[in-house]
Amino acid sequence: MQQIAEILIWLPAILIGLTFHEYAHGRVAYILGDDTAYLQGRLTLNPLPHIDWLGFFMLIIAHFGWAKPVQVNPVNFNRNITMKQGMMLVSLAGPAMNLLLALAGMIALRILVPLQDNVWAGYVLALLIPLIQINLILAAFNLIPVPPLDGSKILAGLLPDAGTRLMYSLEQYGPILLLLLIITGVTGKILLPLVTILYNLLFNIVF
């Protein structure tokens, strides 16, 4: 029963974090001129089109999972932006959205903490804390510059063309590299300090 209760508390945060993350990718791509996500029905806040069911259940059970990636065709970007710049902006949109959600959750937390003795405020607080944590983890994890994570495309957009080509050439090995980093615990050593930095940043802004 305790495990079921924990899943019910964390489930809304997981769905919101994953859905808004993928929606942000598709929306920015659409703004830049690529309608691929729109045509595939991904410009929606309905969680179902964004869920990769295996990744979703892995996230609940093993606390590591993934959503269905939004497909982007950089050839469709507006002529006033390069494909390299466009991909960087599209990739940045996902983690940025998660940070905005965490910030919104932090603001709501500040408002509700003085009211925590109220039963309904207590229920909302119980949902807000996972919302903040999940979105900070999603933002931090996706900022790691390893393919296929968003951080690799953000870094590729900042590097000279030779570095960009190198980053994209690593994409075919990306899932293996990422799996090795997770198994060896390297991602955890990167993730925890990054989440802490982001949390402290938002906390100092709000409180």
Domain regions of the chain by residue span: 2-206
- What pLDDT, on a 0 to 100 scale, did the predictor assign at position 147? 87
Q: What is the mean pLDDT of residues 20-40?
A: 97
pLDDT digits (tens, 9 = 90+) for 98-154: 999 999 999 999 988 777 777 677 778 888 999 999 999 999 999 999 888 999 999
- Is residue 22 flagged as an active site residue? yes
pLDDT at residue number 23: 97
**Band (196; pLDDT cuts 50, 70, 90):** very high
% of residues, the chain, pLDDT over 90 = 57
pTM for the full model? 0.91
Chain-centre distance for alpha carbon 81: 24
Sequence-distant (6+) residues with CB within 8 A of 39 are none
Computed over its alpha carbons, how large is the radius of gyration of the chain? 18
* Rounded Cα distance, 59 and 73, in Å: 28
Alpha helices in the chain (DSSP H): 2-31, 36-39, 53-62, 83-112, 119-143, 150-158, 161-169, 174-183, 186-206
Check pLDDT > 80 for residue 4: no
- At 6 the pLDDT is 72
Choosing from 13, 14, 22, 32, the catalytic residue is 22
Give 158's pLDDT tier (boundaries 50, 70, 90). very high
d(CA 131, CA 113): 15
| CA diameter of the chain | 58
DSSP 13: H
